Amino acid sequence: MRQMRGLVTVLGFVIAVGMAVTPLATHAAGAGEQEFSKGETLLKNKQYTEARASLEAGILKDPSNIQGHFNLAETCRALEAWACAEEHYDTALDLDAKSGPTKSYLPKTKGKVYRLREEMTVWRTLNEAKGLIAGGKMRQAEEALNNANELGLTSEQQSLYRQLQAKLPRSHSAASKKLTPAGAPGETDALDMQMVLVPAGKFTRGSTLGDDEKPVRQIYLNGFYMDKYEVTVGQYARYLEATDMEEPPDWGTMNQLHHQRRPVVNVSWEDAVNYCKWAGKRLPTEAEWEKAARGTDGRIYPWGNEAPTRLHANYGRKDWDDHLALAPVGSFEAGKSPYGIYDMAGNAWEWVFDWYGLDYYKTGPEKNPIGPDKGEEKVVRGGSWLYVSDFLRSAHRFNAQPMNRHFGYGFRCAKTP
């Protein structure tokens, strides 16, 4: 049995969340340093417009400066330039993750920066809803408001949310019902029905990067349907209510209003099997999962061969943070698979049907493989919010005890046509 690999333990320098800027570890003088220094001083003095101009000029000269991106994000936040703030928090987090597992340049704990990034996403979404209402696009505005609500609103955001919702026509406003901890049938029904057909044919399975991923072979699979999204808390709540099955650990923490569209975790392999069976589906095989993730061109990640960024997937976080570490399903448009399937890298590990076999890629059949006849561990695929980018490769295999209910383990279902 393979040993579990080390978890991410990167920790940033801790200061209070706010507009205060704490100097970071000294960087060697280089391109853009004058602009970065001036911008930081202007930010401290709350001269935000001037600070933004100076920091943007510095980033043009040195786009890899983590502190510059973070300070620009803080500046844009003060200016209520939400998309700018979101973009540069993301870039700072991504660059910081690449700086190494024992060194961080971010002037806050990682969890605080993620929360700030998520808050900016909500503000941007609310602002988009405001523009849609002004343009008379009420249905799109309703959808944007629902998305913002699902991410979780601060008290200030709740005030704007209510103001915008009051501007929707009564029929739309009435349709925008808040999710409840018991789940929302309309929402979960819609997610259950969103499956993608992966057509029959061959695909390239495996890689040369892991012993259990060799050899690279052409595998034929019959056509199958795969869930477009990971199973959410809201969907699982409806299942529990209908079946009276045992709740997973920390269910009370997960089953909150602002988590309903986030993936459910803390579920065992058997929990996942039972849910899929109840939904009229099944767990995908490991081969089906890999084909749905990477398509037929042998790509490394669902989106291609480009190295992961925070725009592609949810990974490398430090704390579960009462389920806030999980992103709402469908959040990473740039990270979709060739078939338009979301979150097949990061967010939650996904249970598949197969027993884990170290040599199975060498010994298994080339047509519709279903894994070894027996074993001690099942396969999970795709990485999670906690793991580093190495685990996001579509060929990467991971094994876990089937009774494990870990806060990184979730699933999605498949179906035979």
pLDDT tens digit sequence for 367-410: 999 999 999 999 999 999 988 888 999 999 999 999 999 989 99
Residues 332, 196 share a domain: yes
Let me know if residue 354 belongs to a domain: yes
| Per-residue tokens: 158 | 């709740």
Three-state DSSP at 121 gives: helix
Identify whether residues 321 and 397 lie together within a single domain.
Answer: yes
Q: Domain total for the chain?
A: 2
Q: Cβ(293)–Cβ(313) under 8 Å?
A: no
7 near 91, Cβ under 8 Å? no
Task: From 152, 175, 198, give the residue that closes a domain.
Answer: 175
Same domain, residue pair 268 and 297: yes
Low-confidence ranges of the chain (pLDDT < 70): 1-29, 100-111, 150, 170-190
Residue 96 inside a domain? The answer is no
Q: Do 153 and 226 belong together in one domain?
A: no
User: Does 1 fall in a domain?
Assistant: no
Query: Are 152 and 294 in the same domain?
Result: no
Looking at the structure, do residues 247 and 268 belong to the same domain, yes or no? yes
Query: Which residues on neighbouring strands pair with residue 164, listed in sequence order?
Result: none
Give me 54's structure tokens.
Answer: 């100076």
Q: Are residues 118 and 264 in the same domain?
A: no
Same domain, 198 and 302: yes
Q: pLDDT at position 121, please?
A: 87
Residue 105 lies in a domain: no
Is 240 inside a domain boundary?
Answer: yes
Nearest to 258 by CA among 314, 178, 318, 333: 178
Task: In whole angstroms, give the CA distance from residue 40 to residue 382.
Answer: 39
Q: What is the pLDDT of residue 92?
A: 87
- Helix orientation angle between 138-151 and 155-166, rounded to the nearest 10 degrees: 160
Do 298 and 163 lie in a common domain?
A: no
**Per-residue model confidence (pLDDT) at position 212:** 95
The amino acid at residue 149 is: N
Range of the domain at 224: 185-415
215 with 120, same domain: the answer is: no
Same domain? For 258 and 128 the reply is no
Angle (CA) 362-368-372 rounded to 5° is 50
C-beta pairs of 42-51 under 8 Å, 24+ apart in sequence: 43/19, 43/71, 43/74, 43/75, 46/19, 46/78, 48/75, 48/78, 48/79, 49/79, 51/75
Give the residue from 153, 175, 197 where a domain finishes.
Answer: 175
In a domain, 75, yes or no: no
Domain annotation covers residue 224: yes
d(CA 308, CA 141): 31
Alpha helices in 135-268, H assignment, sequence order? 138-151, 155-166, 170-175, 185-193, 233-243, 251-254
Domain CATH for 358: 3.90.1580.10
H helices of 176-325, where?
185-193, 233-243, 251-254, 269-278, 286-294
The 8-class DSSP code of residue 384 comes to -
Task: Give the helix, strand, coil percentages of the chain, each rounded to 5.
Answer: 40, 10, 45
The whole model's pTM is what?
Answer: 0.66
215 & 287 share domain: yes
Whole-angstrom Cα distance, residue 371 to residue 356? 7
Q: Is residue 77 part of a domain?
A: no
| DSSP assigned state of 269 | H
**146, 175, 204 — which closes off a domain?**
175
